[in-house]
């Protein structure tokens, strides 16, 4: 692993344990910090734009505390038929989301931002991932939600857990994007900042 001595500290701007676990796969040192921002979509804003704006806002919020660091911001927006599927936050909303999604395709837009807080250079992109849900019965939905309680996951399904059983097929460039942190794109961005993973 070649990390240059002048490389700034790497900060993951997220409180998500799943993003933390993904970043640990790259075997580079990093810290985490939780950005506190308003995650409301703007009126008329496209889902890709929402995810990108929020990922950048998260990174810039963390930069206030770590002005010399490289900061990773990420955000995900799920969309079904043009409608945003946010985090359900409770059982009733999760049931509604999965009933809407059954037999249909949901697109998860995961935005990734790498901000060099020292130079203010920013790299950002959005990685889409398409998920076709199985034709689920109400009982299957109920069984899943009782077991996994994915109330803080956009679209109410965690593909890295039992949620995989709800899915008929998945297509996209990076399966890590669906979990919340596109590692393929991140590896490229880090290389541009002098951090080579291997």
What residues make up the domain containing 14? Answer: 2-196
Answer yes or no: is pLDDT of 2 > 80.
no
Other CB atoms within 10 A of residue 89 CB: 11
Q: Tell me, yes or no, if 38 is annotated catalytic.
A: no
Query: How many structural domains is the chain composed of?
Result: 1
82: alpha, beta or left, given left = phi > 0 and alpha = psi -120 to 50? left
In degrees, to the nearest 5, what angle opens at C-alpha 184 toward C-alphas 181 and 189? 90
For residues 11 and 20, what is the distance between their CA atoms, to the nearest angstrom?
10
pLDDT (tens digit per residue) in 5-26 = 445 699 999 988 889 999 999 9
Active-site position among 38, 75, 173, 174: 75
Q: What is the domain-level CATH number for residue 136? A: 3.90.950.10
pLDDT (tens digit per residue) in 141-160 = 999 999 999 998 888 888 88
For residues 198 and 195, what is the distance between their CA atoms, to the nearest angstrom?
9
| pLDDT at residue 153, rounded to an integer | 85
Q: pLDDT averaged over the chain?
A: 91
For residues 180 and 65, what is the distance between their CA atoms, to the nearest angstrom?
23
pLDDT (tens digit per residue) in 34-89 = 998 888 878 888 999 999 999 999 999 999 999 999 999 999 999 998 888 888 99
């Amino acid at each position: 692993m070649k990390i240059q001595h002048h490389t700034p500290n790497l900060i993951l701007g997220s409180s998500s344990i799943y993003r933390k676990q993904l970043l640990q796969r790259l075997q580079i040192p990093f810290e985490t910090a939780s950005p506190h921002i308003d995650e409301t979509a703007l009126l008329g804003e496209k889902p890709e734009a929402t995810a990108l704006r929020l990922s950048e806002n998260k990174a810039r919020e963390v930069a206030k505390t770590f002005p010399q660091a490289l900061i990773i911001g990420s955000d995900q927006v799920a969309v079904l038929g043009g409608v945003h599927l946010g985090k359900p936050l409770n059982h009733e909303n999760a049931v509604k989301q999965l009933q809407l999604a059954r037999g249909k395709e949901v697109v998860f837009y995961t935005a990734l931002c790498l901000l060099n807080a020292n130079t203010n250079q920013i790299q950002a992109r959005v990685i889409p991932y398409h998920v076709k849900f199985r034709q689920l019965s109400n009982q299957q939905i109920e069984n899943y939600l009782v077991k996994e309680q994915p109330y803080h996951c956009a679209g109410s399904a965690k593909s890295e857990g039992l949620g995989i059983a709800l899915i008929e097929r998945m297509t996209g460039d990076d399966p890590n994007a669906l979990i919340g942190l596109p590692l393929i794109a991140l590896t490229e961005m880090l290389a541009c900042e002098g951090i080579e993973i291997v």
